[in-house]
Structure formats: structure tokens, C-alpha cells
Structure 1
Amino acid sequence: MIISTTPTLEGRPVREYLGIVAGETIVGANVVRDFFASITDVIGGRAGAYEEVLGRARAEALEEMSDRAHDLGGNAVVGVHLSYEAVGQTGSMLMVTATGTAVKV
């Protein structure tokens, strides 16, 4: 499956547009991760535990979107957009959404 943020693929003309596809993932932050992230905020540096969770959530959202495109008969998704949003009553969960257009190239 080809996944691209661009609306076209160089050298691969779109033969058929199959529709909009999306993949969503919601991840929660646990207390231990929050604790270590707060220490990182105080002493500086990167919050590696959060970056790992964010990367995994992004990969899952893209995979789900790709699976939906495949179910429509597509072999590529173009115009992909990723969005991130805090959700839940306290904003303690993060939703990652991947959207794009399923196509046959």
C-alpha cells in the first residue's frame, strides 16, 4: 500500500478514486509515564515514553486507514492528513486520526 500526503503520485496516475478513508486510535497516558514526563519537563530533555506512545498510535491509525482502503480495492491512499487531539473529561487521552483518499493507481 502506498501512503502519501501529496494529492498525486509521480509516475503513478490515479485510475480510480474510491472514497475517503480514515483510521483512528485513542491512547491513554498512565500515571508512571506522566510522572517521568513531569520530571523531564523540570530537568529538560525529550519525553521518550510519550514519543513512543505517539509513534505507536500514529502507526496504528495509518494501518487502520490503509486496511480500509484495501477493503475498498485500493492500492494507495493520497492526500493523507494526520491530526492529534486530547480527549476525555480530563484530556488524559490522545486521539490520533489519519484520513485520506483511497485510490487505485
Structure 2
Amino acid sequence: MSERVILTTSSHLEGYRVTEHIDVVSSECVFGMNILKDMFAGFRDFFGGRNKSSQAALRDARITCLDELRREAEEIGANAVIGIDLDYSEISGGGKSMLFLVATGTAVKVTKV
């Protein structure tokens, strides 16, 4: 990316002025959680403690989804995305478990004040 797109969950950026609202942008990521991760997560649930593999999957999903959101915003001429919302869901059934993440925000052009 030639110019880094700024991302924020806030409705404004300190030190910047929104000069144009371009469009709503979103990215969706689905990550499969394999049977071993699910099994060890079950053990952690039973015995207590943190599940590092699940935490890593959540972190990877967030990073990937935000990178895609940044790329989509840049493609339509934005240099920032404000008001970002991250929604996580789990889809399971048939012995499979999937992590679903949707990131949405408003693509804007900003200038420094």
C-alpha cells in the first residue's frame, strides 16, 4: 500500500478533519477451527485457564479482516476508515466449527489540521 489507511473505532480522528465520506466498507473472514483446537478448548473450559490456540485464531481473524478492510477502503480512494465495528460469531455443526468475523466502517478522506 502506497499510503497507509488509518483505522479507528471512533467517529473522528484527533488532529484530522474528515473532508469526504465515501462509502460503507466491510470485510468478512471465516476461519476453520480444527478438531484438535476444539477438543483442547473443551479441556480448557472444563479445567479452566486460557486457550492460547483460540486466542491466536481470534487475533489472526482480526488482523486479516482489518487488513482487508484497509485494502477495500484504499481501492475506493479513502485514506481512513472510521466507526469500525467488529462482530464475531461461531458457526458450528456437523462436527465442524468455524469462526466468522465481520468488520464494517465508514471509508472517508481526512486531512491533517
The two structures have a TM-score, normalised by structure 2, of: 0.87
Partner-residue secondary structure (3-state), 1:15: strand
Q: Structure 2 CA distance, aligned partners of 1:34 and 1:82? A: 23
Q: What's the counterpart of residue 82 of structure 1?
A: 86
- Give the length in aligned residue pairs: 105
5+ residue gaps, structure 1, are: none
Q: Structure 1 CA distance, aligned partners of 2:24 and 2:103? A: 11
Structure number with the higher strand fraction is: 2
Q: What's the counterpart of residue 73 of structure 2?
A: 69
5+ residue gaps, structure 2, are: none
- Please list, as runs of the form range in 1=range in 2, the aligned pairs for 1:31-42 lying within 5 A after superposition: 31-42=35-46
Q: Structure 1 CA distance, aligned partners of 2:6 and 2:77? A: 13
Choose which of 95, 98, 104 in structure 1 pairs with 2:100.
95
Q: Structure 2 CA distance, aligned partners of 1:69 and 1:84? A: 21
By how many angstroms is 1:53 displaced? 0.4
Q: How high is the sequence identity, in percent, across the aligned residues?
A: 40
The two structures have a TM-score, normalised by structure 1, of: 0.93
Q: Structure 2 CA distance, aligned partners of 1:66 and 1:103? A: 11
Encode CA deviations 1:64-86: one digit per residue, 9 max, x unaligned. 11100000111100000000112
Q: Structure 1 CA distance, aligned partners of 2:75 and 2:91? A: 28
Q: Structure 1 CA distance, aligned partners of 2:105 and 2:93? A: 29
Choose which of 47, 54, 59 in structure 1 pairs with 2:58.
54
